[in-house]
Structure 1
Amino acid sequence: MAAHDTGAADWSHARREDAMALRSNPTLRQRRLGTELRRMREQAGFGGSQLARALGVNPAQITQMETGKTGISVERLRTIAAVCMCVNEDLITALAEIITGREKPGWWETYRGRLSTDFLEVAELEEQARTLSTYTITFIPGLLQTSAYATAVFSQTYPPIPQHEVDLRAEFRIERQHIVHSGGTPYTAFIHEAALRMEFSGPKVRAEQLNALLTRSETPGISVRVLPFNVTGLPSPVDNFTYASGAIPDLDAVQTDSHFGNRIIDAPAHVARFRAILAQMDSSALSETDTRDFIRFVKKEIENKHD
């Protein structure tokens, strides 16, 4: 293809992109693409207006692309990468897969308007991950909870929420579990001893939850590791968190969970910190076999206490 034909083709793609309606509610995946485009531009030392001039577009379009409010073609992605002198071909390829992977709406979309966006984005993050690792200090990980235990946890929310909301949240949490129970996404759960002993419910529900945890710990693709109280020197974060591995390490993300809501973190320095914390946990936690013995011990304590 002649040089002027290539330019015409890129201009044609640009015109199609410009004509696209702005998204009012970009998905997590679309926003991450925009974030990586912004990082690409900033690492080249360009402002939005500079990149707009180089691409021959309006500066507002740069903002729209970087906030995920409008899509771009793979051709435009590669043009931006070239202008920004990005030579990370693995990253460019992974971003191109985000662009071309226009899949049907995720199952969580059926809950839009009934649950907050925080809940939906957790499910979307989990669905897109290549591997998942969680750390919980206050409760059994959501991906391993029984329905009765999940209901008990949501019933402890303060201020209290209506029963129908409790039931809806518990239902959603159980539906999220298919991603790891199917064995399609390798999952490691680091659980602090405090989470095993926290009394959200009565002894029967707690014992059933620990039984379910033991069963799931032997499911292919699921690894459960306990961090006992006597582990020292662990750089533990304040919040429960989920580490979601992307197609490449550059696209890894972390979701933190607290009473103030969910937060999804993708800044490289912060993600690297959580990656280091996971490595420390891996070396400090009980083995899978010792973890099962420990869970049985806690379960026996509960049964003896309430006999």
Structure 2
Amino acid sequence: MLQTWLDRLAARAADWPQTPTRKDDMPLRRDPTLRQRRLGAEMRKMREQAGLGGSQLARALGLNPTQVTQMETGRIGVSADRLRTVAAACDCRNVPLVEALAEMAVERAKGWWEEYRGVLATDFLEVAEVEGHARKLYTCTTTYIPGLLQTREYASAVFARATPMPTAQDIALRTDFRMRRQRILDDQKLPYLAFIHEAALRMQFGGPRILVDQLATLIEASTALGISIRVMPFSADTFPGSSENLTFAEGATPELDTVQMDVAHAVQFFDSPAHLASYRSVFARLEAATLTEGESRELIRSVMKEVEGRHV
């Protein structure tokens, strides 16, 4: 029975147009990017949802099992044709997802963040990569202003408080990188919703003058097209979700959404259906619990005047 099933899968896959094998047999990648690994992970999910082992899928496609493993770990690239062949063999009928993955498979242009590879830690690059491919961004911060909305002085002060303390050169490099990340908001094509806890409005990095300038910049940003800033006040009787700083990036399809969490000395990414569902709920609850845009702007202005009156 199993052999008959595998033969049927192989026949079905053969109906899809295929790129010649020599074009798919790409050199092994030493360090696949986050997006390349995500493509492979989605292919693995397809296979697992079909109830196929790696060897079974390899047999159905006429491949070596090692090739399947390499594709699923992002170690080798795949063509759009082969991606569709894998989808057919796995009986994946989610057309929007398959087409979105096919587009990922043919991506060749390098993102601007690749200029920093080998210079900055990979975490920095992967955060920019997620943002660069997002269709919509949500952030939730509790200890500092979101990176995409920070002033240069505030960002430098945030980096300077790291342990062990980085060199002045490293602080300048990280700050330049953060400022460049902010360009994704310049053309107003990427919708961005920032949830900021009142604690982050009051936390000082670099002193009161830097904070006042940061809050003034935040007020200005809150009026920009495509940017929505919502504050969670101390007076709120609940705080949905994690106390960690979060980013939720919408992908081309819901299955390709990504959650990023900042933890001590690292950045973590989540993309399992269970995690995505959980954090969608978190952000929905945040939207219901936070102040309106107008109320948020007034609270930010109030905190700014308070800090200015006391310290500046």
- By the TM > 0.5 criterion, same fold? yes
Q: 1:268 aligns with which of 260, 270, 273?
A: 273
Query: Where does residue 187 of structure 1 map in the other structure?
Result: 192
Counterpart residue identity of residue 194, structure 1: A
Counterpart residue identity of residue 79, structure 1: T
List, as ranges, runs of 4+ consecutive aligned residues in structure 1 with deviation greater than 4 Å: 6-12
> Structure 2 vs 1, CA of residues 14 and 294 (structure 1 numbering), >3 Å: closer, same or farther?
same
Q: Is 1:15 aligned with 2:26? A: no
Task: Provide the C-alpha distance between the structure 1 equivalents of 2:106 and 2:78, rounded to a whole number of angstroms.
Answer: 10
Counterpart residue identity of residue 69, structure 1: R
TM-score (norm 1): 0.94
TM-score (norm 2): 0.93
Q: 1:52 aligns with which of 49, 54, 58?
A: 58
Q: 1:30 aligns with which of 36, 40, 44?
A: 36
Q: Is the 8 A contact 2:255 2:273 kept in 1?
A: yes
Q: Is the 8 A contact 1:151 1:167 kept in 2?
A: yes
Query: What RMSD over aligned residues (CA atoms) do the two structures have, in Å?
Result: 1.7
Q: Is 1:39 aligned with 2:45? A: yes
Taking only the aligned residue pairs, the percentage that are identical comes to 52
> Structure 2 vs 1, CA of residues 203 and 81 (structure 1 numbering), >3 Å: closer, same or farther?
same
Q: 1:283 aligns with which of 263, 282, 288?
A: 288
Query: Where does residue 80 of structure 2 map in the other structure?
Result: 74
Q: Is the 8 A contact 2:236 2:289 kept in 1?
A: yes
Query: Where does residue 260 of structure 2 map in the other structure?
Result: 255
Task: Provide the C-alpha distance between the structure 2 equivalents of 1:9 and 1:265, rounded to a whole number of angstroms.
Answer: 32
1:189-248 residue CA offsets vs partner (Å, 9 max, x unmatched) = 100011001121211110000000001111101111100112223322031011100011
Query: Where does residue 303 of structure 1 map in the other structure?
Result: 308
Counterpart residue identity of residue 24, structure 1: R
Count the aligned residue pairs.
Answer: 301
Equivalent residues in 2 for 1:28-177 (5 A)?
Answer: 28-102=34-108, 104-177=109-182
For residue 11 of structure 1, report the CA deviation from its aligned partner: 6.5
1:149-183 residue CA offsets vs partner (Å, 9 max, x unmatched) = 00000111112111111111111001100001321
The alignment partner of 2:20 has SS state of helix
Task: Provide the C-alpha distance between the structure 2 equivalents of 1:212 and 1:11, rounded to a whole number of angstroms.
Answer: 52
Task: Provide the C-alpha distance between the structure 2 equivalents of 1:57 and 1:126, rounded to a whole number of angstroms.
Answer: 34
Q: Is the 8 A contact 1:214 1:295 kept in 2?
A: yes
Q: Is the 8 A contact 2:34 2:129 kept in 1?
A: yes
Task: Provide the C-alpha distance between the structure 2 equivalents of 1:205 and 1:9, rounded to a whole number of angstroms.
Answer: 59
The unaligned stretches of length 5 or more in structure 1 are none
The alignment partner of 1:167 has SS state of helix
The alignment partner of 1:157 has SS state of coil
Q: Is 1:240 aligned with 2:281? A: no
1:67-121 residue CA offsets vs partner (Å, 9 max, x unmatched) = 111111222112211111111111111111112332x211111111110000001
Q: Is the 8 A contact 1:14 1:76 kept in 2?
A: no
Counterpart residue identity of residue 117, structure 2: R
Larger deviation: 236-245 or 6-15?
6-15
The alignment partner of 1:133 has SS state of strand
Task: Provide the C-alpha distance between the structure 2 equivalents of 1:232 and 1:35, rounded to a whole number of angstroms.
Answer: 39
Counterpart residue identity of residue 247, structure 1: A
